[in-house]
């Protein structure tokens, strides 16, 4: 069985932390884990739509300026020039990731894991896999909530990063994966990510030192994303499938459990068959593989040898696999396995909130059990199980003894003491228990612990921190309730239109895909002028409809390098700096940004070659 070092280590760290005075706590007494008197149910579709904005709050890289939040900006841009000298475990693969030998590699983008700024491909993969799964097992839920365009926007950003940090050799096989940027030392910094500058270490997996659980979770996320895009962007779906298959081969042919840099918080163990099964399930759905060989064999076991006996979580995904396969096949063995796990975690009943025996981060575990219950419930909203699920979600959304929603920004009251550096940077000292500078709408926090306590303390992850896995589990449960009760929303517009944290009239693209850009459209370079006196070159290009920006990229030493990405929509020419080297030849591409997406692929196909005069 997996050991869940992450949760156990944080519990130990909490026990060893400085004891805080009762004056800093919302409550020192632990009330019963029961909700208040029943009222009207919250709008689950609003909650689902709002929850997606948390992923935007944790976005990293040079694309953050363009996301839908007013209070986030580009951060950790130095990740685009990560030093090979600080690459741990890269070994003999440095020539693959740094073909021009300049000592740099671009690992920018992606998502921070939690209230810190570590990028860990296992939890990024879990978050993306969970979102894709919530869409697949609850068809139409995101359309009802008016936010499938936002879902696809997030999935594309996550998948782009997972593919960017996967380096294929000339045979199409994985040679190296950058699985983590920064490490547990990141926790010593408390401040916004925009102000956290400087180089960060990178950690790598190679054929000789691999971690199968990590790379197979990445494969699963990419295959799930391929399913989400297959009907609206076949080319992107195929690209995701290509990388998913390569990572699948890498994880199953080069098995290992390399964990350098993870510390006790992210540690995995040697079982990877659940992530393998999940990937095989997605590929089977795509028609890219046969039906997986992993079958429930009773009492929390698969194939009589691989035990679940837990719940769906960031490093144990058997329950997600069972939910997927039950949806695909209708085989009751998967439903029976889901119900077994629900019951052995204490069940879900009206009148009692189930913390799943955990002391922190309980809301995510509760949501994971909700997902298992709803997946096996066959759409029966009158069943005791469905009523129990609704009670649990209503508790999370504010119908609890504290009258606070654990989904930040939802309802009328929530915690202002969130353990999130971007939303609550304070003055750099979280021990002062600052109130959040920004409302991090859609951020699921841990909420009530198993002892019934909910203490609002900024400097403690136990109650008020969240992470990618929290919101992934929330989406799985909430999307199920959206369908069960046929809820509707227009993308939570009542929140988005009235809070300063959101950009108004933001467009993610249309609902049929992540963007409505015609991929055959690109800024065609129509004229190139040379200045021999100043050794400059001037490019002119044709306009692209609905472009918001233009950018220039140059191919140097085996890599495309962005020269600028901030040219306005009215700018249709660009002049290089003076005194370029005469006789030197370059390839140059001009790209347009339309509906939040760059025409990079088509622009590169139509790049021009110039020689400086």
User: What would the two tokens of residue 593 be?
Assistant: 């940004």
Beta strand pairing call for 202-205 and 87-88 = parallel
pLDDT beyond 50 at 187: yes
Q: DSSP letters of 438-468? A: S--TT-B---S-TTS-----TT-HHHH---H
Cα distances (angstroms) measured from residue 586 to each of 6, 126, 214, 575? 48, 40, 38, 14
3-state SS class at 179: strand
Q: Give residue 527's pLDDT band: very low, low, confident or very high (50, 70, 90).
A: confident
Average the pLDDT over each of 200-209, 368-377, 482-491, 584-593 and give the range with the smallest value.
584-593
pLDDT beyond 50 at 517: no
pLDDT beyond 50 at 83: yes
Between 134 and 263, the more confident residue is: 134
The span from the CA of 409 to the CA of 183, in Å, is: 30
pLDDT per residue as tens digits for the range 95-117: 999 999 999 999 999 999 999 99
User: What would the two tokens of residue 249 be?
Assistant: 């081969």
pLDDT beyond 50 at 354: yes
Domain 525-611 class, CATH top level:
mainly beta
* Mean pLDDT score of the chain: 90
pLDDT per residue as tens digits for the range 224-274: 999 999 999 999 999 999 999 999 999 999 999 999 999 877 889 889 999
Residue with tokens 């298959």: 245
Q: Which residues pair with 363 in a beta bridge?
A: none
- Residue 495 phi, psi (nearest 5): -85, -50
Between 35 and 531, the more confident residue is: 531
Query: Average pLDDT, stretch 87-95?
Result: 95
CB atoms within 10 A of CB 570: 8
Average the pLDDT over each of 173-177, 242-246, 402-406, 519-523 and give the range with the smallest value.
519-523
Q: Taking the chain, what is the end-to-end CA distance rounded to the nearest angstrom?
A: 66
Listed by start position, the domains of the chain span 5-22+42-496, 525-611
Q: Give residue 77's pLDDT band: very low, low, confident or very high (50, 70, 90).
A: very high
The span from the CA of 127 to the CA of 469, in Å, is: 5
Average the pLDDT over each of 355-364, 433-442, 488-497, 581-590 and give the range with the smallest value.
581-590
Q: Give residue 124's pLDDT band: very low, low, confident or very high (50, 70, 90).
A: very high
Q: Give residue 454's pLDDT band: very low, low, confident or very high (50, 70, 90).
A: very high
pLDDT beyond 70 at 296: yes
Specify the pLDDT at position 111: 98
Residues 6+ apart with CB under 8 A from 99: 557, 558, 559
What's the burial of 481, exposed, middle or buried (CB within 10 Å: 0-12/13-18/19+)?
buried
Q: What is the 3-state secondary structure (H, E, C) of 521-537?
A: CCCCEEEEEEECCCCEE
pLDDT per residue as tens digits for the range 387-397: 999 999 999 99
Rounded to the nearest 10 degrees, what angle do helices 234-253 and 273-285 cross at? 150
pLDDT per residue as tens digits for the range 9-60: 333 322 222 222 222 223 323 344 666 555 689 999 999 999 999 999 999 9
CATH of domain 5-22+42-496: 1.50.10.10
Reading phi first (left if > 0) and then psi (alpha if -120 to 50, else beta), residue 193 is in alpha
Specify the pLDDT at position 526: 85
Query: Average pLDDT, stretch 477-501?
Result: 97
CA neighbor of 86 nearest in space, from 196, 164, 223, 183: 183
Specify the pLDDT at position 118: 97
């Amino acid at each position: 069985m997996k050991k869940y070092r992450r949760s156990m280590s944080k519990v130990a760290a909490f026990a060893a932390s400085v004891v805080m005075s009762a004056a800093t706590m919302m409550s020192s007494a632990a009330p019963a884990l029961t909700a208040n008197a029943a009222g009207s149910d919250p709008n689950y579709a609003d909650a689902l739509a709002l929850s997606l904005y948390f992923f935007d709050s944790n976005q990293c890289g040079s694309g953050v300026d363009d996301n839908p939040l007013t209070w986030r900006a580009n951060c950790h841009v130095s990740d685009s020039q990560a030093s090979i000298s600080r690459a741990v475990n890269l070994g003999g693969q440095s020539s693959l990731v740094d073909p021009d030998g300049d000592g740099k590699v671009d690992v920018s983008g992606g998502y921070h894991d939690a209230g810190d700024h570590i990028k860990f491909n296992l939890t990024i993969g879990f978050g993306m896999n969970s979102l894709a799964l919530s869409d697949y097992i609850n068809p139409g839920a995101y359309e009802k909530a008016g936010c499938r365009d936002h879902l696809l926007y997030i999935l594309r950003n996550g998948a782009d990063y997972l593919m960017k940090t996967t380096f294929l050799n000339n045979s199409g096989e994985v040679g190296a994966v950058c699985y983590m940027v920064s490490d547990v030392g990141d926790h010593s910094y408390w401040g916004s990510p925009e102000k956290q500058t400087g180089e960060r270490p990178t950690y790598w997996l190679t054929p000789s030192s691999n971690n199968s659980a990590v790379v197979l979770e990445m494969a699963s996320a990419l295959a799930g994303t391929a399913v989400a895009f297959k009907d609206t962007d076949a080319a992107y779906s195929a690209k995701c499938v290509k990388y998913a298959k390569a990572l699948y081969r890498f994880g199953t042919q080069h098995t290992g459990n390399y964990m350098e840099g993870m510390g006790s918080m992210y540690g995995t163990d040697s079982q990877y068959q659940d992530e393998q099964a999940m990937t095989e399930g997605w590929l089977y759905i795509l028609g890219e593989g046969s039906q997986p060989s992993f079958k429930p064999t009773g009492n929390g076991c698969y194939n009589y040898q691989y035990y679940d006996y837990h719940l769906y979580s960031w490093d144990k995904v058997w329950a997600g696999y069972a939910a997927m396969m039950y949806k695909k096949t209708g085989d009751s063995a998967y439903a029976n396995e889901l119900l077994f796990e629900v019951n052995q975690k204490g069940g879900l009943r009206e009148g009692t909130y189930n913390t799943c025996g955990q002391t922190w981060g309980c809301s995510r575990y509760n949501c994971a059990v909700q997902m298992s219950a709803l997946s096996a419930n066959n759409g029966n909203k009158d069943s005791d199980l469905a009523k129990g699920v609704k009670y649990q979600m209503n508790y999370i959304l504010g119908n609890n003894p504290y009258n606070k929603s654990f989904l930040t920004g939802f309802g009328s009251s929530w915690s202002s003491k969130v353990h999130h550096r971007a939303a609550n940077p304070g003055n750099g000292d979280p021990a002062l228990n600052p109130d959040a500078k920004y409302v991090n709408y859609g951020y699921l926090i841990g909420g009530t612990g198993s002892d019934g306590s909910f203490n609002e303390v900024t400097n403690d992850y136990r109650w008020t921190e969240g992470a990618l896995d929290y919101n992934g589990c929330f989406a799985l449960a909430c999307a199920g309730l959206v369908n069960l009760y046929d809820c509707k929303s227009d993308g939570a517009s009542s929140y988005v239109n009235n809070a300063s944290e959101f950009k108004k009239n933001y467009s993610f693209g249309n609902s049929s895909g992540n963007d409505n850009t015609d991929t055959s459209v690109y800024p065609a370079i129509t004229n190139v002028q040379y200045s021999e006196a100043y050794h400059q070159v001037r490019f002119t290009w044709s306009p692209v409809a609905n472009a918001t920006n233009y950018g220039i990229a140059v191919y140097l030493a085996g890599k495309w390098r962005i020269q600028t990405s901030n040219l306005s929509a009215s700018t249709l020419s660009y002049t290089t700096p003076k005194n370029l080297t005469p006789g030197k030849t370059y390839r140059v591409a001009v790209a347009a940004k339309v509906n939040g997406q760059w025409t990079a692929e088509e622009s590169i196909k139509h790049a021009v070659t110039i020689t400086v005069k």
